[in-house]
Amino acid sequence: MDRMLVVVFDNETKAYEGKKALLQLDGEGSISVYAYAVLAKNADGTATVKQGDDSGPIGTLLGTSFGTLIGILGGPVGMAIGAATGLATGGIFDLNDARIGDDFIDDVTKALTPKKVAVVAEIEEDWTTPVDTRMEAIGGTVFRRALSDVKHTIHDENVAAMKADMAQMKAEQAKSHADRKAKLQEKINQLDSKIQAQLQKAKERREAAERQAQAKVQVLKAKAAAAKAKAS
């Protein structure tokens, strides 16, 4: 099952031990790690990516569930980004893009207080014991949540509702006087802009989901090729 994993540690040393243990589990075949980062919470509420997998097919790519979660955990002030990651942000992140519930974010945020450091990863695991055992031995607090399916029902319903409103306004406009026509046209234009924004956002989410799925396939292919080369 694909999951988002956050393990909170008291300091960087332990967090790096946790990252190492996570990658060892990946090497042993106990889990598959698609992307990871070591995230330190600063005193001002921002976060710094101390280390990340920016060389892999997914890495800290914005537009993926992983990238969105990193941005959300950066806090409302934005993030101070480690230069090595190449990830620059500070904008607004949509929780829906992270594909996890707001209760998960709340739990992680309460634990990831200033001066604490977290290992954030998108993984696939069949059972939780391997990760929990390794991380708890290092002193980490583990949070995990399965990634929900990407659905666009809400966007579709919003667009349909706005199109219905616009159709009614156009019908009303056809029967109105000149001064009223102008006011209705302004509202129609505003509504059309909102519709186009919703459609663009839905398109971006679909494309991001497709990119992420393709990247995961490449990760698994690379691991299979490496294992085959090692065996031969």
Helices 65-73 and 102-111 cross at an angle (nearest 10°) of 50
Which residues have a Cβ under 8 Å from the Cβ of 123 and sit 6 or more positions away? 2, 3, 5, 22, 26, 31, 32, 33, 34, 131
Q: What percent of the chain has pLDDT over 70?
A: 78
Q: Check residue 30 and report its DSSP letter.
A: S
Question: Residue 75 pLDDT more than 90?
Answer: no
pLDDT attached to residue 157: 64
Which residues have a Cβ under 8 Å from the Cβ of 98 and sit 6 or more positions away? 4, 65, 68, 69, 72, 105
The least confident of 12-21, 109-118, 122-131, 175-184 is 175-184
